[in-house]
Chains A and B, each alone.
Chain A
Amino acid sequence: GAGVSQSPRYKVAKRGQDVALRCDPISGHVSLFWYQQALGQGPEFLTYFQNEAQLDKSGLPSDRFFAERPEGSVSTLKIQRTQQEDSAVYLCASSQLAGGDNEQFFGPGTRLTVL
């Protein structure tokens, strides 16, 4: 497909478990973003990659959150020792150019539920 894909679409975790969420951006897109969306709210920025470089991680809520994009394409968001407040939809977006100031294309999201 030509769009951004994310997997899994749904994830249920017990409190304290580690989870890994995957994002496949549009091929050739330089920029990649992760967002967290709570119910009824707009997405909140988590982190930004330009190719493999993580240039902004100011939105990560705690050191339990870690993201990587080792080859400048696929990205993984990892959450360690999940807590109930981590329950949300995690969205990934990519854009063609560097700098993050052009159009962003979003994936369908991963809905994480922490019990």
Chain B
Amino acid sequence: KQEVTQIPAALSVPEGENLVLNCSFTDSAIYNLQWFRQDPGKGLTSLLLIQSSQREQTSGRLNASLDKSSGRSTLYIAASQPGDSATYLCAVRPWGTGGFKTIFGAGTRPFVKA
């Protein structure tokens, strides 16, 4: 059974430092992995989608890597800003299960101190 874990649940960094957010999953049989941002009381905003055949994706200050063999993905946010404070969720789309389920981690909530 696929499980997605994000540790730590929360962290604090000073403004300007790079943010490093971790995601691990137990089964490497995935179609893709997606990173989302969620602000309090809001829905999810898609940040990056990494297909199974890809090793990384980049968008502006964001970079996400994918290592299927070790079951890990890392989201890097360069030069963090107070506005980056939110909850970041990763999600995997398993294949081979016959279903259409996407499995989410519980999220990591960084606080960027001005």
B94 to chain A, nearest CB (A): 10
Report the minimum CB–CB distance from B72 to chain A (whole Å).
17
- With a cutoff of 8 Å between Cβ atoms, the chain B residues found around residue A105 in the complex are 46
CB of A44 within 8 A of CB of B104, answer: yes
Across-interface contacts of A44 in B (CB, < 8 A): 104
Question: Among the listed B4, B101, B104, B107, which residue makes an inter-chain contact with A56, where contact means beta carbons less than 8 Å apart?
Answer: B101
Could you tell me which A residues sit within 8 Å of B by CB distance? 4, 6, 31, 33, 40-45, 48, 55-56, 58-59, 91, 93, 99-109, 111
A103 near B4 (CB under 8 angstroms)?
Answer: no
A108 to B46, CA, bound (A): 13
Query: What CA separation (Å) do A69 and B8 show in the bound complex?
Result: 38
5 A-B pairs in the complex with CB atoms less than 8 angstroms apart = A4-B43, A43-B89, A43-B104, A45-B100, A104-B102
Q: Could you tell me if A56 and B45 are in contact, using CB atoms closer than 8 angstroms?
A: no
* Nearest CB of A to B109, in Å: 9
Contact with A along B25-54 (1 / 0, CB 8 A): 000000110101000011111100100000
Instruction: Report B93 CB to chain A, min CB distance, Å.
Output: 5
Q: Distance (Å) between the CB of B4 and the closest chain A CB?
A: 7
Residues of B near any A CB (own CB < 8 A): 4, 31-32, 34, 36, 41-46, 49, 89, 91, 93, 95, 99-107
A101 engages B93 (CB within 8 Å)? yes
Pick from B41, B91, B100: contact of A42, CB under 8 Å: B91
Minimal beta-carbon separation of A48 from chain B (angstroms): 4
- Known contacts A40-B106, A42-B89, A104-B34; A58 and B46 CB within 8 A of each other: no
Identify the closest chain B residue to A50 (Cβ): B100
Q: Give which listed residue, B32, B102, B103, B105, contacts A33 with CB less than 8 A.
A: B102
What's the Cα separation between A105 and B45 when bound, in Å? 7
Given contacts A91-B43, A103-B34, contact A45 B107 (CB under 8 A): no
Inside 8 A of A106's CB, which chain B residues have their CB?
A: 36, 43-46
Report yes or no: A103 in contact with B46, Cβ–Cβ below 8 A.
yes
| C-alpha gap A31/B41 in the complex (Å) | 24
Taking a contact as CB atoms under 8 Å apart, the answer to whether B99 and A56 are in contact is: yes
